Structure formats: C-alpha cells, structure tokens
Amino acid sequence: MGIRIGVLALQGNVSEHIRAFERALDALSLKGEVIPLRNAEDIPRCDAIAIPGGESTTISRLISKNRMREPLKSFHGGIFATCAGMVLVASEVDDSRVEPLGLMDITVARNAFGRQRDSCEMPIVLEGDREPFPGYFIRAPVVESVGPAATVICRADHVVGAVQGKHMALSFHPELGGDLRLHIRFLRNLIEA
C-alpha cells in the first residue's frame, strides 16, 4: 500500500503541496499516494498530513467547523506544516484570532515580516546542509521561541523552521519551488521513526 499523505484541503495552496509530495515520493522511489484531506474520518487513515499555506484564521475556523480539531490533536503520524500551517501546529501564537493545535513546542508570531510588499525570496541556512535553501516567504510567520521538545532546523535572521519527532514546521514555502530536500528529510524521518 505504501505511505498515505493527506493534504489538509480546507483552504490554501493544496494542489502545490500534493504535487511536491508526489515528486518527493518518486525521488525516494517510495510507493504511496497523496490525497486532498477534507473529512475528519480520513485523518487517522493517513501516515502523514500536510497543512498548507493559506489564511490561518480561515483554516483555524474551518478545522473547528469540520470537527477536525480533536482528530488532528491525537494524530499519530507526521505533520508537515508550512506558513499558515506552522501557525496552526504551534503551542502558542501571538494572536487570539487563531486557535493553535499545540502539536509542536514552538511559539509563533504571525505576519512577522510585515505586509505583502515585505514578502520576499531569501536564502536559508539549513542545519546539516552546506547548500543554502531557497526560501519563499509570503506574509510569513516566524518562530519566536523553541521549547525543549523541538529542534531548530532552518534559520534566516529568525528561526524559520523546526522539527519535533515526526513533525516539521516551516515559515516558508518549499512546495512553490523545485527543491525537495525538506520534503525528503521529512519522509525519511517518517519512515525511520
């Protein structure tokens, strides 16, 4: 059967995440499928879930409306969260308009770079890799503090990526470019765990 990856399809750039994970599975010659995840019942049937970029206030509301909050909190697989996704997996957010899931021991600040005119491409330092990673930041959040359970993996001027167990949270959007190193890292870690 292989690995089943669900991309949370409530709002945001779902199709880009599906394509990126399909390519990452191919790159690792892994069998599996990547599906849009729209129903709470399908959450426990996944090995990994991607929470895409989008508006965190909107996705947060729709998680509650669709009764996905508890199944996501008790999910045993790995979560790959980018941008709005990072805001949602945090234990604390600087904004009461979002109710985070508390899946990772990180505190996150929303829209930390400013407005869309401050959104940019910038190279990121990836722990354990000499090659910088192309970072695409779009009204991006940053990690303000990292608790003992989480580990920093990406830095720019701020902490912009962290891992904890099977989970990975990123401020930026690797799914928008062709560099699959972070997807591959996430999948390797998932298989080994």
Partner 1 sequence: MKLEELRFGTELIKRGFASMQKGGVIMDVVDAEQAVIAEEAGAVAVMALERVPSDIRKAGGVARMADPSKVAGIIDAVSIPVMGKVRIGHFVEAQVLESLGVDMIDESEVLTPADEEYHINKKAFTVPFVCGARNLGEACRRINEGAAMIRTKGEAGTGNVVEAVRHMRAITSGIHELQGMDDMELTARARVLEAPFEILAECRDLGRLPVVNFSAGGIATPCDAALMMQLGCDGVFVGSGIFKSEDPRRMAVAIVEAVNHFDDASVLAEISKGLGEAMPGLDIHTLPEHEVLRFRGN
Determine if 161 is a binding residue for partner 1 (CB under 8 A): no
Window contacting partner 1 (CB under 8 A); options: 20-28, 60-68, 73-81, 142-150: 60-68
**Active-site residue, 76 included:** no
**Active-site residue, 83 included:** yes
CA distances to 25, 44, 145, 175 from 160, rounded to whole Å, are: 24, 28, 11, 15
The secondary structure of the chain, three-state, reads: CCEEEEEECCCCCHHHHHHHHHHHHHHCCCCEEEEEECCHHHHHHCCEEEECCCCHHHHHHHHHHCCCHHHHHCCCCEEEEECHHHHHHCCEECCCCCCCCCCCCEEEECCCCCCHHHCEEEEEEECCCCCCEEEEECCCCEEEEECCCCEEEEECCCEEEEEECCEEEECCCHHHCCCCHHHHHHHHHHHHC
Question: Which residues in 69-88 contact partner 1 (CB under 8 A)?
Answer: 83-84
Give the one residue of 12, 77, 100, 174 binding partner 1; rule: CB under 8 A. Answer: 12
Window contacting partner 1 (CB under 8 A); options: 68-76, 107-115, 161-169, 179-187: 107-115
Window contacting partner 1 (CB under 8 A); options: 19-27, 61-69, 99-107, 145-153: 61-69
Determine if 21 is a binding residue for partner 1 (CB under 8 A): no
**Active-site residue, 175 included:** yes
Among the listed residues 83, 154, 167, 183, the single catalytic one is 83
Determine if 174 is a binding residue for partner 1 (CB under 8 A): no
Binding site for partner 1 (CB under 8 A): 9-16, 53-55, 57-58, 61-62, 65-66, 83-84, 95, 97, 110-111, 114-123, 136-139, 156-157, 173, 176-177
Active site residues: 83, 173, 175
